[in-house]
Amino acid sequence: MKNGRIAGTGSYVPETIWKNEDLEKMVETSDAWIRERTGIGARHIAGEETVAQMAVKAARRALENAGICSTELDLILVGTSSSESIFPNTACLVQDEIGAFRAACLDVSAACTGFLAVYELGQLYIRSGKAKNVLLIGADALSRLADWHDRGTCILFGDGAGAIVLTAEEQETKACERSIRWRKGVSLTCEKGTYLQMDGRAVFQFALSRVPEVIREVLAEADMAVEEIDAFILHQANSRIIDGVAKRLKAPKEKFPRNIEAYGNTCAASIPILLDEWNRSGRAQKGQRIVLSGFGAGLIWGAAYLEW
């Protein structure tokens, strides 16, 4: 069966860095509190830079890494919930900038699960035979949706973009990602023109119960055991959530790479940024068994099993 294999990865974060110490000047908080409760030390802030501009930079790096020309792309999917442009969609803006004129272009709004959602769609296009080369991007600038007077939310978020290129390949694989779940929830919302609202404890509990559950489901579908997985690449929302998931799965924390200390929660970008770091640091090996899992506003959560 034809399946999409990761052919290349790329990522981009804006230059401006706000450390926890910078936030101490904005709200009543401390570096110690933020580190202890979240694992975050700093976040990158987009400023004038748009979500599409960040997405383009990540996309160019992924294409270069994959050795694929933009005109070979059949499909561009962008997971984003913070694009400045309502239309054209971000994927069309990326298409125009990189010259991928054969590619169909769609955005998916699924908040922090945005990358998992575009990953599933990209694989479905490839398996159906409708696409051979697919560019998947997660890009967000939640710093624009955060209220920088609200210490309960603003300390969490940062901006960035990550991208992967999937290429159709004949594979003997059990790869699957049929576990995206959607249920309307009120613990994390954002109305147009307002700041995001969050019940942090409720989101925390939701993640701790749903993420291990959906990972178990996708592993059962792939006929894999937790012990057989080389790395669990989770949405970077809170280091304590990642620890909690590891504990519930009875898996060693070392199998859960993280970069939340440097970037905070970059929403749909967090998983592809981590995949890019995994790839470029030489940790990615062909045949490696990887689980991805995203969760957040919607409420939406999901997991995917893939072989590198």
Q: Which residues are catalytic?
A: 112, 235, 265
Instruction: Give me the helix-helix angle, 114-128 and 270-280, nearest 10°.
Output: 70
Angle made by CA atoms 84, 43, 149, in degrees to the nearest 5: 75
Chain residues 225-244 in contact with ligand UT7, contact rule CB under 6 A: 237-238
Does 41 contact ligand UT7 by CB under 6 A?
no
Does 298 contact ligand UT7 by CB under 6 A?
no
Q: Residue 243's closest CA among 220, 211, 221, 201? A: 211
Contacts of residue 180, defined as CB under 8 A and 6 or more positions apart, other chains included, come to 113, 116, 117, 120, 300, 301, 302
Beta-strand pair 188-189/197-198: antiparallel
| Three-state SS at 187 | coil
Residue of the chain from 104, 200, 216, 248 that contacts ligand UT7 (CB under 6 A):
200
Does 201 contact ligand UT7 by CB under 6 A?
yes
Number of residues that bind ligand UT7 (CB under 6 A): 18
Does 155 contact ligand UT7 by CB under 6 A?
yes
Task: State in angstroms the smallest separation of the CB of 156 from ligand UT7.
Answer: 6
Q: Give the distance, in angstroms, between the CA of residue 277 and the centroid of all CA atoms in the same chain.
A: 13
How many angstroms separate the CA atoms of 180 and 122, rounded?
Answer: 14
Measured CA distances, 227 to 133, 230, 263 (Å): 32, 8, 29
Does 29 contact ligand UT7 by CB under 6 A?
yes
Does 152 contact ligand UT7 by CB under 6 A?
yes
State which residue, 58 or 237, has the beta carbon closest to ligand UT7.
237
The tokens describing 139, both together, are: 């890009």
Write each residue from 114 to 133 as x if it is in contact with ligand UT7 (CB under 6 A), else as -, in one continuous string. --------------------
| Three-state SS at 16 | coil
State which residue, 12 or 295, has the beta carbon closest to ligand UT7.
295
Residue of the chain from 204, 217, 248, 261 that contacts ligand UT7 (CB under 6 A):
204
> Residue with structure tokens 């579908």?
221
How many angstroms separate the CA atoms of 79 and 65, rounded?
Answer: 20
Residue of the chain from 37, 127, 255, 280 that contacts ligand UT7 (CB under 6 A):
37
State which residue, 204 or 308, has the beta carbon closest to ligand UT7.
204
State which residue, 134 or 245, has the beta carbon closest to ligand UT7.
245
Q: Which residues sit at the interface with ligand UT7, rule CB under 6 A?
A: 29, 33, 37-38, 112, 151-152, 155, 188, 198, 200-201, 203-204, 237-238, 265, 296
